[in-house]
Amino acid sequence: MSEHVEEIEALLHEGRRFFPSPDFVAQANATKSIYEIADADPEAFWAEQARGLTWEHPFSTALNWTPPNATWFEDGLLNASVNCLDRHVAAGLGDRVAYFWVGEPEGDQRRITYADLLAMVSQAANALTELGVKAGDRVAIYLPMIPEAVAAMLACARIGAPHSVIFGGFSADALANRILDADCRVVITADGGFRRGAPSALKDNVDAALASCPDVHAVLVVRRTEQAVTWVEGRDHWWHNVVERQAMTHTPEAFPAEHPLYVMYTSGTTAKPKGILHTTAGYLTHVSTTHRMVFDLKADRDVVWTAADIGWVTGHSYIVYGPLCNGATSVLYEGVPDAGGKDRWWRIVEEFGVTILYTAPTTIRTLMKWGDGFPDSHDLSSLRLLGSVGEPINPEAWMWYRSVIGGNNCPIVDTWWQTETGGIMVTPLPGVTATKPGAAMRAFPGISVDVVDHEGNSVPDGEGGFLVVNRPWPGMTRGIWGDPERFIETYWSQVPGRYFAGDGAKRDEDGDLWVLGRIDDVMNVSGHRLSTAEVEHALVAHHAVAEAAVVGAADATTGQAIVAFVTVKANVVVAETLVEELRAHVGQLIGPIAKPKTILITPELPKTRSGKIMRRLLRDVAEHRALGDTTTLLDPAVVEMIDELMRSSSSDD
């Protein structure tokens, strides 16, 4: 890898930028003028994009903005699932593949055309209606990465029932909290899914969760792993019994543009996850436009692989709604990158001729760690564009992605966005913008961002500040489910009148944007968003724990790793097994993704005179840095002792 490091250092030293080949530029979907056109009249730009959707009744105005509430295309009527499916089938594209599905077990594959998917969705919509689901009712989806997950989402959208997809890695407790918060009455799940070679226990988790969700009256269960499951008569229904006996046609109803499409839970700075609400037309406009321009999509030729989970927003926007609105062909892969060998991904790229690959830096770093031999032994020449999302990408990983995976021939789009933004906000435009290793470059056309100080003044180039969005955009969240106050306080109060994203950023001397990562108590672990408060909350719920402080520490592979500092109650004798017990406990309350990498049991936590835990100093400890200013501490000796403890425990490893 050292030759890459030298190459990168030389490039960064030169401030090197990359431009796509003249051939790429000549055929690119986006042109230079798009920025000027969109800047001159952003609403007109978005309205033109929205006209690319199929409307039952056209809209007359683009934006209504009463800060901080925006509506887009408000008087228009449409159906999301018609836009994803029916219109393509009606245009004669029924035989086009919507998904090449690849299960984790070798050889487990399905090929689903647009006509197939429309039939599945129609049947599922009929089944949900039979189960009593009506427009406006919320449906929870807790499924592995199988075609039924997409069908379930679109069936909900088709009948106007907002879905709440919950990542399969969440525990029963986390699932129950989300079902209760959104007041879901129906759950769609599977007997399990395959991950790391073993079937997961999705149905067991649903059963455990529903013990505290008495209002759920129906559970639809897809058979995937064939493992035995417990069954609640009258409540549980097999998908293959209820869905597959339905008619394959379904007459869709048109809904208002602002009809809720889905709720997606994400972590904020408090212990309670927020239900981020997205509505229909603005969201579809944003994700389809960005999918077409940022990925330079040629729907009749490309094979798009957004290697993310459907349980997160990247899956919603760029596996489901964006690609389907654009009539694209995607790969949907169920499992982990090294199932069946560390070259599994590259075999998939080769077999299906993937042209556009989109994934997170943490995965890129893992693939890089496994060595060049795995990608080098496969023909990856079908690839023509690579994307990155979810966390800042370090220049070394960026360059490896470019040279080893892209053969120095694919533009790389580093895309910054969030669950709340619905779609991509800051990104290079391939064929138009240059790219730099590690920079997200500039706002997408029609979107306006800035880097500001506490007062909301733009900071000079080269200085860091807060990343804000200046005006509403179509995919913007319409609020936090059931908590309008929190919506205003979280996003619109830090810098009045502007959307505050929670990230730090800077502009370089060329004015190009570099996103520096979260500046609040939100951690980013392997591209998963977790709040320090949420993990602390889980730790103090353990009977032995008195206090807990959690920080995200820089980690070479996962971006950040969770480090917890814990004090135990006075009468507790610390057993050797306590750390493992605490990790398992957090896994049970939230999910395996939230298990701390390191837990340090300490007699005390560093506090200010007013009793606040000094996380800044704990971050210094966790990252093995010299301790910052300790003068405001009640007792500086405490943090010095913790630092010593950390050093001796790391040297034991």
Residues in contact with ligand PRX by CB under 6 A are 266, 313-314, 389-392, 414-419, 440, 501-503, 515, 517-518, 524, 529
Cα dist from 374 to 337, 346, 380, whole Å = 12, 7, 11
| Nearest approach, Cβ of residue 414 and ligand PRX (Å) | 5
Q: Between residues 279 and 526, which has the closer beta carbon with respect to ligand PRX?
A: 526
| Nearest approach, Cβ of residue 467 and ligand PRX (Å) | 8
Instruction: Output DSSP code: residue 86.
Output: I
| Nearest approach, Cβ of residue 522 and ligand PRX (Å) | 7
Distance CA 211, CA 179 (A): 12
Angle subtended at Cα 418 by Cα 536 and Cα 43, rounded to the nearest 5 degrees: 150
Tell me whether residue 644 is exposed, middle or buried, using C-beta atoms within 10 angstroms of its C-beta: 0 to 12, 13 to 18, 19 or more.
exposed
| Nearest approach, Cβ of residue 485 and ligand PRX (Å) | 21
Q: Between residues 418 and 433, which has the closer beta carbon with respect to ligand PRX?
A: 418
Residue 36: Cβ within 10 Å count: 9
Peptide bond into 68 cis (omega under 30): yes
Token readout for 83 is 């836009």
| Nearest approach, Cβ of residue 268 and ligand PRX (Å) | 10
Amino acid at 384: R
Distance CA 216, CA 183 (A): 8
| Nearest approach, Cβ of residue 641 and ligand PRX (Å) | 33
Q: Which residue is nearest to ligand PRX (CB)?
A: 419
Q: Between residues 160 and 430, which has the closer beta carbon with respect to ligand PRX?
A: 430
Q: Between residues 181 and 391, which has the closer beta carbon with respect to ligand PRX?
A: 391
Q: Between residues 180 and 516, which has the closer beta carbon with respect to ligand PRX?
A: 516
Instruction: Output DSSP code: residue 205.
Output: H
Longest Cα separation, the chain: 73
| Nearest approach, Cβ of residue 415 and ligand PRX (Å) | 5
Q: Between residues 131 and 389, which has the closer beta carbon with respect to ligand PRX?
A: 389
Q: What is the separation, in whole angstroms, between the first and last Cα of the chain?
A: 25
Q: Between residues 205 and 421, which has the closer beta carbon with respect to ligand PRX?
A: 421
Tell me whether residue 630 is exposed, middle or buried, using C-beta atoms within 10 angstroms of its C-beta: 0 to 12, 13 to 18, 19 or more.
middle
Tell me whether residue 353 is exposed, middle or buried, using C-beta atoms within 10 angstroms of its C-beta: 0 to 12, 13 to 18, 19 or more.
middle
| Nearest approach, Cβ of residue 478 and ligand PRX (Å) | 16
Q: Between residues 18 and 238, which has the closer beta carbon with respect to ligand PRX?
A: 18
Q: Between residues 185 and 518, which has the closer beta carbon with respect to ligand PRX?
A: 518
Q: Between residues 417 and 565, which has the closer beta carbon with respect to ligand PRX?
A: 417
With contact defined as beta carbons under 8 Å apart, do 355 and 384 qualify? Answer: yes
Torsion, Cα of 446, 451, 453, 458 (10° steps): -70
Q: Between residues 280 and 418, which has the closer beta carbon with respect to ligand PRX?
A: 418
- The distance of Cα 609 from the centroid of its chain, to the nearest Å, equals 39
Q: Which residues contact 260 (CB under 8 A, 6 or more apart)?
A: 136, 162, 277, 278, 279, 280, 478
Distance CA 302, CA 316 (A): 19
With contact defined as beta carbons under 8 Å apart, do 279 and 258 qualify? Answer: yes
| Nearest approach, Cβ of residue 623 and ligand PRX (Å) | 18
Q: Between residues 221 and 399, which has the closer beta carbon with respect to ligand PRX?
A: 399
| Nearest approach, Cβ of residue 602 and ligand PRX (Å) | 29
Report the half-sphere exposure of 235 (CA within 13 A, side-chain side): 18
Distance CA 238, CA 483 (A): 35
Distance CA 388, CA 398 (A): 9
Distance CA 565, CA 41 (A): 51
| Nearest approach, Cβ of residue 652 and ligand PRX (Å) | 33
Torsion, Cα of 616, 503, 274, 260 (10° steps): 180
| Nearest approach, Cβ of residue 513 and ligand PRX (Å) | 9
| Nearest approach, Cβ of residue 175 and ligand PRX (Å) | 18
Q: Between residues 246 and 267, which has the closer beta carbon with respect to ligand PRX?
A: 267
Distance CA 1, CA 559 (A): 19
Q: Between residues 209 and 515, which has the closer beta carbon with respect to ligand PRX?
A: 515
3-class secondary structure, 351 = helix
| Nearest approach, Cβ of residue 392 and ligand PRX (Å) | 4
Q: Which residues of 507-539 are buried (b: 16+ CB within 10 A; e: fewer)?
A: beeeebbbbebbbbbbbbbbbbbbbbbbbbbbb
Q: Tokens 């069946």 sit at which residue?
A: 340
